[in-house]
Amino acid sequence: MNVKVLLVACLLPVLALAQGFAGLGTDADGFADPKPNPRFDFPADHGPHPDYRIEWWYLTANLQGADGTAYGLQWTLFRSALAPGEGDGWQSPQVWFAHAAVTTPDLHLATERFGRGGVGVAGVEAAPFRAWIDEWVLEGPDFDALRLFAQGPDFAYGMDLAAQGPLIFHGDAGYSVKSAEGQASYYYSQPFYEISGTLQLPDGPVDVTGHAWLDREWSSQPLSDNQSGWDWFSLSFEDGAKVMGFQLRQRDGASYSASTWITPQGATQAMANGAFVATPLETATVAGREIPVLWRVQIPDRGVDVSVSALNTQAWMGLSIPYWEGPVRISGSHDGVGYLEMTGYE
């Protein structure tokens, strides 16, 4: 067994917790639980929270080349804890892993990295901000001005990001409820990045510009044990308004949803369960699974009734934890672009 295979085998139980869909509903005895009425402390809260079991720094971007071709980019660093708290060196119970991907209309490329905490190969520092694993890095003097780099066997990217609006807090001031049983996370975003840089693709480099969205979330048991996966949408409309919406699918066929309406200036309205409605219209066969690739999204209170279609239906993240993630196009009552993540499709 080679070193990478051995590392993956050792980490699989942890990875199942990190983005393991139903595994996120397992009991988290000993870990901290998110509580209502959070008080965030910045820049410290841009850094890790080792008393919670799972956390991520999750960046997606809708990009465009000079010829008008659309592209998508993802970079995510996950922290998953074997036990609460931190320790020195190899005594650290923190496990880190990361995903990177590029999507074009005809191609989807993805890769991953793994690392243990405490030994310098991966981590996050709040100020100046630095999130890294090996040579992959998202860093800058603060959260408003960042530089991103990642590379895989068949692609790479280097990007600059500049925030053009405020942080956005989801749910009740950043306390985001995920189920009728009350599971929750702390959840905020920076959805106002302008981004530019170069994609290194198999056919050569492509200079791109666009908009990026970074999610920050941490919890210990964000799902209930009857939830099997989620459909998460970040939608950016041409008039400058944005929506974050998700529905968590339950094993009984029902779902739990939550969403945030974001004005162009950054004012927000949190919407309760049921206000955001996402209905799959068409599926495609992806990695042997039937995956929804065309959705109808409705927010009646905001006059939103749109079709959300995949730029590339085959945007399958065939990694240690498989899921679908890719850029989407929006048309109907509002036009625009966005990103869609779908997990738990067997």
DSSP secondary structure, 99-132, as one string:
EEEEE-SS-EEEEEEEEETTSSSEEEETTTEEEE
On whether residue 311 sits in a domain, the answer given is: yes
- Name the token pair of 128: 């100046």
pLDDT digits (tens, 9 = 90+) for 269-290: 999 999 999 999 999 999 999 9
| Confidence category of residue 1, pLDDT binned at 50, 70, 90 | very low
Q: Bin 336: left if φ > 0, else alpha if -120 < ψ < 50, else beta.
A: left
pLDDT digits (tens, 9 = 90+) for 177-207: 988 788 899 999 999 999 999 999 999 999 9
pLDDT value of residue 263: 98
pLDDT digits (tens, 9 = 90+) for 107-150: 999 999 999 998 999 999 999 999 999 999 999 999 999 999 99
pLDDT value of residue 28: 67
CA distance 239 to 232: 21
On whether residue 337 sits in a domain, the answer given is: yes
Is 159's pLDDT higher than 70?
yes
Is 221's pLDDT higher than 60?
yes
The structure's pTM equals: 0.91
On whether residue 87 sits in a domain, the answer given is: yes
On whether residue 126 sits in a domain, the answer given is: yes
Contacts of 269 (CB under 8 A, 6+ apart): 260, 261
% of the chain beyond a pLDDT of 70: 91
On whether residue 242 sits in a domain, the answer given is: yes
Within 10 Å of residue 91's Cβ, how many Cβ atoms? 10
Specify the CATH number for the domain of residue 234: 2.40.370.10
pLDDT digits (tens, 9 = 90+) for 227-238: 788 999 999 999
pLDDT value of residue 20: 35
Sign of the Cα pseudo-torsion (16, 20, 24, 25, in order): negative
On whether residue 176 sits in a domain, the answer given is: yes
CA distance 321 to 81: 17
pLDDT digits (tens, 9 = 90+) for 67-113: 999 999 999 999 999 988 887 878 888 999 999 999 999 999 999 99
Query: How many domains is the chain built from?
Result: 1
**Residue 219, domain extent:** 43-342
